[in-house]
Every structure is written in structure tokens, then in C-alpha cells.
Amino acid sequence: MYRSIITGSGAYIPEHIVSNSDFLSNVFYSEGGLPIENTPDQVVEKFSNITGIVQRRYATDGLSASHMAARAAELAISDSGMNKESLDHIIVAHNFGDLKGNMSFPDFVPSLAARVKHLLNITNPACIPYDLIFGCPGWLQGMIHSDAFFKAGIGKTALIIGAETLSRVLDPHDRDSMIFSDGAGAITLEYKEVHDPLTGILSTNVRSDSREECGFIHMGSSCNPEKMSNAQYLKMKGRKVYEYALRHVPEAMKECLDRSGQAIGNLKAIFIHQANEKMDEAIVKNFYGMYGIAEPPVNIMPMCIQWLGNSSVATIPTLFDLVRRSSMPGFSLSKGDIILFASVGAGMNINAVCYGYI
């Protein structure tokens, strides 16, 4: 029996720390372009209570998404012990390409994956690099893609990276801008023979709703009507996203777990996209509620959003690497643990993977 196994992980966490207090000088406007009546300190306090975010990380000037991706990749490859020249696929999930300066035009050519291959100095022409644009679930979708490729006989090794510099597409007059951050996370995935049927990727699930939901997360002008420019910023209909996620993410998680044949009681950890602390807690509570369980187990869901913010595609691989390296107090993984990955984001897209840890 062959399964897709995570053999290495790595993350690049930017050094520049941005605290909530750094936003106290901002002038915030509503989506309709009207000044918000609450003072900046009231806006920031309410934001922190809802999202749980106290700090976030921004990439320093001159550091691109592809460079962060390469740094995370180097750690993952080293952790796996594999020869980088043996890689069959390099997949980089992102949403904005390389943004080299504040509000610069996104740079997608060549692909970020090709740039990572170049930065890693991989010479093997059979190593195929490509980008994956799938909103925040992009990195997890890369795992799903790779697993499908392996089962189809297309390669046996993949480097899957999520990298983003969201700080360069943020509107300083939009309250939601405080959610987002920068970073990169990576894993190596290998198709290997296993003797334990509960090892590796056990099941997957993907969902997309792109009618009225398509515009829940989008690009738009500044909330400040006096800021006249052609610049486009990352925008989010927060309430719509929250309602959509609470309604559909638990369903997708349950379908994925049920496909694996595993009982809810066998789950040891849930690695969910670090979008919003309260939202993630509600998603997991609803997920357990679908099995008739009123409250999730204590310490089932590690979280790093409080100090790293929402770095989109980078949140899950970064969190996973932190837990694997015992850098999250109170959380650890052992051989045989059943874990569930889940994410939701622009599109709107949702995905989940059930995995047996080795």
C-alpha cells in the first residue's frame, strides 16, 4: 500500500513585528466611505476581542514572497533528508505574486515556483514548478493536487509551499487590514509504501461556491473617499465570510473525516486556517456539534493567529511546522495521531484533508 506522507516541514516567519498599538494613528472609514465614529483605540480593542490578534508579522522591504518561500523550502528539504534534485513537483500557493514594494504591480512572470526552483539551484529538468491560486486554501489544495498526481503515477515527490506578502495590499483606512500578515510555510510530500493503513493522506474534500459568494473577498479601492488613486486593496465582507464559513466549513470537515472511516473521537488535532480566532473556534464547535458533541476536546486546535496574524496560504503550514518542532506549548504530535486540516478563503473555496501522522 502506498500513501502520500509528509516527510519534512519548514517555515519562514518575518522578523518585523507589528502590534495592535501601531494602528492607533490610523483613520478608519466604513465600507461606505464614512468616518467610523469610534476612536482608533476603541476600533483596535474591538478588533482584538473578535479576532484574537495582538501581533502580526510583516516582511521587511526587499523581501519578496518567492524569497520567503525558498527559505521555508530549504528548511523543509533539510528536515526531510531528501535530495532536492529528486523533487518531481514544486507547487507554490499564493494570491499576489511577488510584490516588491508597497502597492507595486503584482509580478507573476516567471511563476513563483520557477523562482523558488531557481533560488534552490535545482537543475533537474524533470522537476516541474507551478503556481496555485486558490485563495487561502491554496496550500492545502497543493497537497490534494500532489496526492492525486501520485495516485495517477505522475511523480512521487513534491515540495508544497504557501507564501504571501499581504502587508503590501492593505488599506490603512480599513479595519479588516489589521487581520492580515506575511509569511511562508512548506512541506515535502512523498509517495511511499506503508504498512499501517492509517498512515498518510487518508481522505480529502473540496468545495467551491462562486455565485454571490465570489465577491466576499475581493480587490477594491480605499475606504477613504479622499484617497484618489488607481491602487487596489484586499477587501473582505467580514460578516458574509463568517456566516459562509460557519455554515459550510464544518460540513466539509465532516464529509472528509467520514470518508476516512475514522471516528470523531480518534482525532488528535485540527489544523485550521488561521483566519479569525472566534470564527475558527465556532467552526470547530459546529463541527463537533454535527456528531452530537456539545464542546470540542481541550487543546484539539492549536492556534498561532494571536501573534502571527492571518498570512493566508502560509498559516496552516507555518502552524504545522511550529507544532512538529515543539514550538507551540501544550501541543505535540505522535506517530499514529489522526489529524484534520481545513481551510476556507476567496472564491469562496473550502478544502479538508484527513491525515495519519507518521
- pLDDT tens sequence across 198-213: 999 999 999 999 999 9
**Domain of 38, in residue numbers:** 2-193
Q: Which residues contact 233 (CB under 8 A, 6 or more apart)?
A: 169, 170, 171, 174, 177, 219, 220, 221, 222
For the stretch 223-244, pLDDT in tens is: 888 876 778 889 999 899 999 9
Q: Does residue 303 contact residue 281 with C-beta atoms inside 8 Å? A: no
What are the grid coordinates assigned to 327, written together? 514550538
Q: What is the pLDDT of residue 8?
A: 98
Q: What is the pLDDT of residue 104?
A: 59
What are the grid coordinates assigned to 139, written together? 496550500
Task: Say yes or no: 15 and 163 in one domain.
Answer: yes
Task: Say yes or no: 113 and 241 in one domain.
Answer: no
Q: Does residue 11 contact residue 185 with C-beta atoms inside 8 Å? A: yes
Band of residue 101 on the pLDDT scale cut at 50, 70, 90: low
Of 68, 65, 63, 117, nearest to 91 by C-alpha is 117
Read off the pLDDT of each residue in 42-67 and give the average, rounded to a whole number: 93
Band of residue 333 on the pLDDT scale cut at 50, 70, 90: very high
Task: Say yes or no: 188 and 223 in one domain.
Answer: no
Read off the pLDDT of each residue in 272-282 and give the average, rounded to a whole number: 95
Question: CA 51 to CA 191: how far, in whole Å?
Answer: 37
Task: Say yes or no: 172 and 247 in one domain.
Answer: no
Task: Say yes or no: 79 and 132 in one domain.
Answer: yes
Question: CA 72 to CA 66: how far, in whole Å?
Answer: 10
For strand 128-132 and strand 89-93, is the pairing parallel, antiparallel, or unpaired? parallel
Task: Say yes or no: 178 and 210 in one domain.
Answer: no
Task: Say yes or no: 11 and 65 in one domain.
Answer: yes
Domain boundary among 162, 193, 224: 193
Domain boundary among 193, 226, 245: 193
Task: Say yes or no: 143 and 53 in one domain.
Answer: yes
Q: What is the pLDDT of residue 102?
A: 56
Count structural domains, the chain.
2
Task: Say yes or no: 101 and 151 in one domain.
Answer: yes
DSSP H helices in the chain = 40-51, 65-80, 112-119, 138-151, 238-260, 277-289, 305-308, 315-324
CB atoms within 10 A of CB 48: 15
Of 355, 348, 13, 43, nearest to 184 by C-alpha is 13
Task: Say yes or no: 42 and 136 in one domain.
Answer: yes
Check which CATH number belongs to the domain holding 311 and give it. Answer: 3.40.47.10
Task: Say yes or no: 237 and 335 in one domain.
Answer: yes
Task: Say yes or no: 189 and 47 in one domain.
Answer: yes
Question: CA 95 to CA 91: how far, in whole Å?
Answer: 13
Domain boundary among 193, 214, 247: 193
Band of residue 38 on the pLDDT scale cut at 50, 70, 90: confident
Band of residue 103 on the pLDDT scale cut at 50, 70, 90: low
Cα torsion 19, 349, 74, 196: sign: positive
